[in-house]
Structure 1
Amino acid sequence: MSDEYVKVLFELEKEDEDYPPVDYERLWARPLGEGLFEIDNIPFFVRELSAGDVVAAQLGEGEVVFSKLVRESGSSTLRVIVFDETRVEDVRRRIQEFGCATELNVSKMLGVDVPPQVDLHAVRAWLMEEQSAGALEFEDACIRHDGSP
């Protein structure tokens, strides 16, 4: 990342005592001025946020801290855990073939950005087939479009 990017700190709410496994997530963002930042990577744990969203944040204790969502990008975010590490790149490649961007966290967790022009229903249908086969598990982290391209 160039010097023009900053990390925005998001405090996470625990869904249960073990998840998410961290209390905070820091996301790369591009400063837009006047305390606004455009998120530039796919969230792994932050809910209801997608790449390209614009957020307001402020400097607090030496970090840029999220305060509120200002504008949605229209993208949706999915999270995928691939059970067999040897299949991660195959799953990732297939998701990218739909037109989605992916980021790998740890060795088996993918963050998936589904842009508004991508058929969300098709992506989710394929993931559901793979989930039914026991190959992976996925969740909707932020759904922003109805699924039709």
Structure 2
Amino acid sequence: MPDEYVKVLFKLEREDEDYPPVDYERLWARPLEDGLFELDNIPFFVRGISVGDVVAARPGEGEVVFSELVRESGNSTLRVIVFDETHVEKVRRQFQELGCSTELNVSKMLGVDVPPQVDLQAVRTWLMEMQSAGALEFEDACLRHEGLD
């Protein structure tokens, strides 16, 4: 990341005993003005946040700590676990063909950014087919697209 980027710290709440597997997630962001930052990487564990969102953060604990969401980008975020590690790159290519970008965490977990102009329903339909086939599992981390059933 360029020098002008900083990491914003997000404290995570446990959904159950083992998830998320970490207490914090740090996301790259571009400083704007007055303690505002534009997020520039896909979250793996933070809920309700997407690439391009503008957040307020404050200095604390030796880091820049998230305080609130200021402006939504319109992007949606999905999380995907690909069961067969040898299929991860194929799945990533399919997301790219659908207009999405991905980031890889560990060997089989993907964070998926779905820009507002991408048909999220088409992406979710493909994911449901892949999930039914036993190839992967997915969850919605932040849905911003309108018109979903």
Match of 2:117, SS? coil
Deviations 1:28-49, CA, capped at 9 Å, x for gaps: 0000010000000000000000
What is the aligned-residue identity percentage? 83
In 1, the alpha carbon distance for the partners of 2:90 and 2:48 equals 27
User: Are 2:111 and 1:111 aligned?
Assistant: yes
Aligned-residue CA RMSD in angstroms?
Answer: 0.9
Q: In structure 2, do the counterparts of structure 1 residues 5 and 27 end up closer, same or farther at CA, with 3 Å as the change threshold?
A: same
In 1, the alpha carbon distance for the partners of 2:39 and 2:85 equals 28
- Runs of 4+ in structure 1 over 6 Å off: none
1:74–1:144 Cα contact (<8 Å) kept: yes
Report the equivalent of 1:129: 129
Residue 62 of structure 1 and its aligned partner are, at CA, apart by 1.1
Query: What residue ranges of structure 1 are gaps of 5+ in the alignment?
Result: none
Match of 2:86, SS? helix
1:120–1:147 Cα contact (<8 Å) kept: no
TM-score (norm 2): 0.98
Report the equivalent of 1:102: 102
Match of 2:32, SS? strand
In 2, the alpha carbon distance for the partners of 1:61 and 1:10 equals 12
Q: 1:42 is matched by which residue type in structure 2?
A: I
Report the equivalent of 1:92: 92
Match of 2:102, SS? strand
Structure-to-structure mapping, 1:1-149, within 5 angstroms: 1-146=1-146
In 1, the alpha carbon distance for the partners of 2:147 and 2:41 equals 21
Q: In structure 2, do the counterparts of structure 1 residues 116 and 24 end up closer, same or farther at CA, with 3 Å as the change threshold?
A: same
TM-score (norm 1): 0.98
Residue 7 of structure 1 and its aligned partner are, at CA, apart by 0.2
In 2, the alpha carbon distance for the partners of 1:116 and 1:147 equals 12
In 2, the alpha carbon distance for the partners of 1:76 and 1:137 equals 17
1:10–1:24 Cα contact (<8 Å) kept: yes
1:28–1:39 Cα contact (<8 Å) kept: yes
In 1, the alpha carbon distance for the partners of 2:139 and 2:24 equals 19
Query: What residue ranges of structure 2 are gaps of 5+ in the alignment?
Result: none
Residue 138 of structure 1 and its aligned partner are, at CA, apart by 0.2
Match of 1:128, SS? helix
In 2, the alpha carbon distance for the partners of 1:140 and 1:146 equals 14
In 2, the alpha carbon distance for the partners of 1:96 and 1:107 equals 18
